[in-house]
Amino acid sequence: MKPHFQIRAAFLFIITSVLLCGFPLSSHAQDEQPTIRFVRNPDAAPDFKLTTLDGKPVTLADSHGKVILLNFWATWCGPCRAEIPDLIELQNKYKDRLQILGLIVDDDDQDAIKEFIEKVGINYPVAIASNDIRFQYGGIAALPTSFVLDSEGRIVQKHEGLRDPLLYETEIRSLLGLSIGNVKVETFEDTGQIFLKNAERASELPGVDLTKLSPEQKTVALHKFNAETCNCGCTFTLAQCRIYDRNCQTSKAATTKIISALLHPAAPKSAPAASPSPEKPRK
């Protein structure tokens, strides 16, 4: 077994788990309980019908009853290549109850992809993701991006970027009902982290300061963020764009303008003064 799958010191495990799961690291980190998080009421993952690079059909429905790790990647992506040995290890270890599916994006040289798959020994299906699939899964803003599905085909977590394989394995074991030691499982509401369509549930958005608004003004602002489309070309609402691309200056400026208008409403224009009536000539 590879070193990264061996039992590690509790302190390292806690730091890794806390950082990867998005919780702040307190000054008493050594006393923190490692935690994983799943969506409270998960939505079904969009199914697809693809053909793998070795000519076999593949769908999500084919793996119903198994935990699925849906991994979007590309051969030119360094972090993607770095995590593949870990994915191979996971597929070997939980092969009867886990199905990893690799979906290639932005990589059209199929011969080069096949050569890479053979060279590294990928042991799970790999297919090229269509633009439609990428859109259904939120556009895939970063690589690698992995979606964790429970045995009912629902997306319970999404991870962007290179992650410690311990996190994936702990999530998989939890979904399979296997022991995860002292790790705590928490749930959260999907407010756009998994599916952008759920951005309308969000009460906070990346890079948007709502602290100066009253509760009533905040409600109005959030409604506008979800009703108005961003003009950056993404076709998303302002709320969705802030979640999808927190560096977008267009949505940043638009949300700031909405907040400013609520804080400093324009004074109503006063009616123009009536012109004095001309004096009637005296007879």
Per-position b or e across 80-98, b if 16+ CB within 10 A of its CB: bbebbebbbbbbeebeebb
Q: Tokens representing 248?
A: 């977008």
For 229-268, the pLDDT digits (tens) are 999 998 899 999 998 888 999 999 999 999 999 999 886 6
Q: Tokens representing 215?
A: 């509760």
For 44-65, the pLDDT digits (tens) are 999 999 999 999 999 999 999 9
Distance between CA atoms of residues 275 and 270, nearest Å? 15
pTM attached to this predicted model: 0.77
- What confidence score (pLDDT) does residue 9 get? 33
For 161-217, the pLDDT digits (tens) are 999 899 999 999 999 999 999 999 999 999 998 988 899 999 999 999 999 999 999
Segment 219-226 mean pLDDT: 94
Cβ-based burial of 150 (10 A; exposed 0-12, middle 13-18, buried ≥19): buried
Q: Tokens representing 176?
A: 């399979």
Say if domain 41-168 classifies as CATH 3.40.50.1100: no
What does the domain layout of the chain look like in residue ranges? 41-168, 196-263
Instruction: Compute the C-alpha angle 17/18/19, nearest 5°.
Output: 95
